[in-house]
């Protein structure tokens, strides 16, 4: 008897329809138990209205597009096919006008930065390859032309970019220089005789790398290069450089390599680019902050090369704002899947009840998921405040520095939190979380890069710390001796009040759930680390240590400072938002989430607080108990809280989480 006859007998017609070695059922065929959730204490629809804010029409518009059949998730593993599908999705979004929402009217846009950020954030609920492809095309390539170019560039390049007719790249990072943009090697040398710039990669390490849109679809790139005029280098500037013809053929002098398979984002065509004496017109220097005359005279309204460099990079901070938001959206998707699953999956029984226990009813499960749920809610409001600040017109120099520092810190904290939340959510779904259809595989792989692009997180935290130290030092430059005495006197009095044994050992519930206590504790940690870092840095320099070496010796401490600053910033923005909520039921559950975010953050650093005498041992123990109680309390609202994210079933997609 043949193998085929023994396996597929006429007595088993169902198996006879299946080929050898292939199972009949798929994950989508499995009927999962219903999600068990008590009636929430608040209206999830009203919570979604609050979360969506005034940009809800834009969010709904984007969701309506993404839930069309043609946007159904790609289930295959062919990289080239995935790239083509994502590119077609991108063109459809461009056709719908989504990509140019933030562009000026001259480019066919609406000039509304908040709409663009809301659209990007919503797209991050879909395939993250599309999110990044969208960000590269309309945010980085188009955004660099918008922010660094002038009207000529807007009319010539920004309009076709927004329409999807001119696919582009953002070519900053090099093989030899990632975060250190100031020292990139690519050159742009002006030739007055031909009124052209010669774009050149002088070494192998000068090749632009990990450039989205470069491997397949990009026809033009914003290239960052050292500008050389009459033998003098004026630092990094941006140029618009064609890399492919309209038919898609590589242009002379341009060499492109595919970065190939990556850990994630298979639908994004990342590549490396080298230039061999490629000439472009003088007018293709993005000249908002500097220009070169036909005769070869360099001029800029910003005299300092260093100030000019940071001003140019500062205009591109929108990328960090967007990635902070995208990371939080990925965390929301992961938590929505895990929490819904935990409300339907049962495991073990005990006592007299023969029914097995829901995963969400286990305190350990609550402890893993509820603090992360509080984090994404806290981040939602902090990132929204950051987006509104970014969209504010006519920021002064001080506000711009503040924006850059805040964006750096929130981007780092949000993406680190997303990485941790997605991993925890996957673990909370056990083996089902390991099945590709349930989306953790793609969420983990695709969001992992968020921690290192648009700025490596550790480097960004150092940027934030440096800004805090500059502000701290700046306070004293304008102070008289009397002012300084009063300043340190007030700080000493505040510290004595907070270090009072009656405060450090106070454990009643009203105190432990008091937002003033939470904010005071978070501010104290930031200020104490800031003072310590500043004093140590000053002491090292005074002892003769070279300033850069002194900085390196304090670098770990600066990371702690930045972390403390971001955690305080998130808490303050969340607290401000909760106070403004009118609906008492929504305000109550948000207050619980605020308390959990703050107390779990303090608990995370309880060793530090004990070391500095800010908290007593009994108080840290009671904080831990309060976190346990909050996790159990929020567990009963958890399904409604993730429903309030407003993620359409088509986008959530994971079979274990669908209703």
Q: Is the dihedral of CA 121, 123, 126, 127 positive or negative?
A: negative
Quick count: other Cβ atoms within 10 Å of Cβ 481?
7
Instruction: Identify the CATH class of 44-162.
Output: mainly alpha
Beta bridge partners of 256: 273
Report how far residue 55's alpha carbon sits from residue 119's, in angstroms, rounded to the nearest whole number.
9
Phi, psi of 62 (to 5 degrees): -70, -40
Rg (CA), the chain: 27
Instruction: Identify the CATH class of 319-347+356-657.
Output: mainly alpha
Give the H or E element holding residue 210.
strand 208-211
Angle at 502 between CA 499 and CA 505, to 5 degrees: 85
Report how far residue 490's alpha carbon sits from residue 31's, in angstroms, rounded to the nearest whole number.
64
Q: 318-342 and 440-448 are packed helices; what angle lies between their axes, rounded to 10 degrees?
A: 160
The two three-digit tokens of residue 157, written as one number: 């390049």
Report how far residue 461's alpha carbon sits from residue 457's, in angstroms, rounded to the nearest whole number.
6
316: Cβ contacts below 8 Å, ≥ 6 apart = 140, 143, 144, 147, 148
In residues, how long is the chain?
A: 659
Report how far residue 322's alpha carbon sits from residue 314's, in angstroms, rounded to the nearest whole number.
14
Report how far residue 254's alpha carbon sits from residue 275's, in angstroms, rounded to the nearest whole number.
5
Q: Is the pTM of this model over 0.75?
A: yes
Beta bridge partners of 191: 196
Residue 112, CB half-sphere, CA atoms under 13 Å: how many? 13
E-strand ranges in 101-174 read 168-171
- Contact (Cβ atoms closer than 8 angstroms) between residue 311 and residue 403: no
The structure tokens 């504010």 sit at 392
Out of 198, 454, 526, 569, the active site residue is: 454
Q: Residue ranges per domain, the chain?
A: 44-162, 319-347+356-657
Which portions of the chain are predicted below pLDDT 70?
A: 1-28, 475-502
pLDDT digits (tens, 9 = 90+) for 369-414: 999 999 999 999 999 999 999 999 888 888 989 999 999 999 999 9
The two three-digit tokens of residue 564, written as one number: 């403390």
Helix (H, G, I), strand (E, B) or coil at 495: helix
What letter does residue 108 receive in the DSSP assignment? Answer: T
Q: Which of 475, 79, 121 is nearest to 330 (CA)?
A: 121
How buried is residue 384: exposed, middle or buried, by Cβ count under 10 Å (0-12/13-18/19+)? buried
The two three-digit tokens of residue 36, written as one number: 């068990």
Report how far residue 401's alpha carbon sits from residue 394's, in angstroms, rounded to the nearest whole number.
13
565: Cβ contacts below 8 Å, ≥ 6 apart = 409, 464, 465, 468, 526
Angle at 405 between CA 404 and CA 408, to 5 degrees: 85
The two three-digit tokens of residue 474, written as one number: 């700046």
The two three-digit tokens of residue 658, written as one number: 């669908």
Beta bridge partners of 188: 199, 227
The two three-digit tokens of residue 343, written as one number: 């409300």
CA dihedral angle for residue 636, residue 637, residue 638, residue 639, rounded to 10 degrees: 100
Strand 220-229 to 168-171 pairing: parallel
What letter does residue 250 receive in the DSSP assignment? Answer: B
Q: Is 526 a catalytic residue?
A: no
Alpha helices, DSSP H only, in 205-359?
Answer: 305-314, 318-342
How buried is residue 31: exposed, middle or buried, by Cβ count under 10 Å (0-12/13-18/19+)? exposed
- Contact (Cβ atoms closer than 8 angstroms) between residue 115 and residue 53: no
pLDDT value at residue 271 = 98
- Contact (Cβ atoms closer than 8 angstroms) between residue 368 and residue 424: yes
Angle at 287 between CA 285 and CA 289, to 5 degrees: 135
Q: Which of 336, 371, 222 is nearest to 288 (CA)?
A: 222
């Amino acid at each position: 008897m043949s193998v085929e006859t023994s396996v597929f007998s006429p007595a088993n017609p169902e198996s006879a329809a299946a080929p050898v070695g292939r199972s009949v059922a798929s994950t989508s065929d499995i009927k999962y138990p219903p999600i068990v959730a008590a009636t929430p204490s608040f209206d999830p629809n009203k919570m979604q209205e609050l979360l969506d804010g005034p940009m809800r029409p834009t969010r709904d518009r984007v969701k309506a597009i993404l839930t069309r059949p043609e946007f159904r998730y790609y289930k295959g593993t062919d990289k080239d096919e995935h790239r083509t599908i994502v590119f077609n999705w991108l063109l459809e979004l461009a056709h719908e006008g989504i990509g140019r929402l933030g562009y000026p009217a001259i480019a066919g846009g609406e000039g509304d930065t908040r709409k663009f950020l809301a659209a990007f954030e919503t797209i991050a609920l879909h395939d993250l390859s599309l999110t990044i492809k969208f960000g590269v095309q309309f945010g980085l390539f188009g955004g660099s032309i918008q922010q660094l170019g002038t009207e000529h560039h807007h009319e010539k390049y920004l309009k076709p970019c927004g329409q999807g007719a001119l696919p582009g790249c953002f070519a900053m990072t090099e093989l030899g220089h990632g975060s250190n943009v100031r020292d990139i090697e690519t050159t742009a040398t002006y030739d007055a005789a031909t009124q052209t710039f010669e774009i050149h990669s002088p070494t192998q390490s000068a090749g632009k790398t990990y450039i989205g849109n470069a491997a397949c679809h990009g026809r033009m790139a914003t290239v960052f290069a050292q500008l050389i005029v009459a033998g003098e280098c004026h630092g990094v500037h941006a140029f618009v450089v064609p890399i492919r013809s309209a038919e898609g053929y590589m242009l002379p002098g341009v060499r492109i390599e595919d970065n190939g398979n990556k850990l994630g984002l298979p639908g994004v065509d990342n590549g490396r680019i080298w230039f061999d004496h490629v000439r472009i017109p003088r007018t293709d220097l993005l000249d908002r902050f500097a220009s070169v005359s036909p005769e070869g005279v360099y001029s800029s309204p910003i005299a300092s090369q260093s100030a000019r460099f940071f001003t140019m990079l500062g205009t591109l901070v929108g990328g960090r704002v967007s990635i902070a938001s995208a990371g939080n959206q990925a965390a929301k998707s992961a938590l929505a899947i895990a929490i819904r699953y935990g409300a339907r999956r049962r495991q073990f029984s005990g006592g007299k009840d023969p029914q097995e226990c829901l995963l969400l009813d286990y305190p350990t499960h609550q402890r893993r998921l509820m603090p992360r749920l509080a984090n994404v809610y806290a981040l939602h409001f902090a990132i929204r405040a950051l987006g509104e600040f970014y969209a504010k017109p006519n920021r002064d120099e001080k506000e711009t520095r503040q924006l850059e520092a805040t964006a750096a810190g929130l981007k780092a904290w949000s993406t680190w939190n997303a990485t941790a939340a997605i991993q925890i959510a996957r673990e909370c779904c056990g083996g089902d979380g390991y099945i590709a259809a349930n989306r953790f595989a793609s969420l983990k792989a695709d969001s992992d890069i968020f921690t290192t692009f648009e700025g490596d997180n550790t480097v960004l935290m150092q940027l934030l710390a440096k800004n805090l130290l500059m502000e701290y030092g700046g306070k004293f430059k304008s102070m008289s001796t009397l002012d300084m005495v009063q300043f340190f006197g007030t700080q000493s009095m505040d510290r004595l009040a907070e270090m009072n044994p009656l405060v450090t050992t106070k454990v009643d519930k009203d105190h432990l759930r008091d937002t003033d206590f939470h904010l005071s504790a978070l501010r104290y940690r930031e200020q104490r680390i800031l003072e310590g870092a500043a004093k140590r840095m000053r002491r090292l320099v005074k002892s003769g240590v070279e300033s850069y070496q002194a900085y390196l010796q304090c670098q770990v401490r600066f990371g702690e400072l930045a972390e403390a600053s971001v955690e305080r910033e998130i808490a303050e923005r969340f607290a401000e938002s909760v106070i403004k909520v009118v609906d008492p039921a929504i305000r109550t559950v948000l207050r619980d989430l605020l308390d959990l975010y703050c107390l779990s953050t303090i608990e995370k650093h309880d060793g530090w607080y004990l070391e500095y005498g800010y908290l007593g041992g009994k108080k840290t123990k009671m904080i831990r108990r309060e976190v346990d109680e909050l996790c159990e309390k929020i567990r009963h609202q958890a399904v409604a809280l993730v429903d309030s994210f407003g993620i359409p079933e088509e986008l959530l997609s994971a079979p274990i989480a669908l209703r």
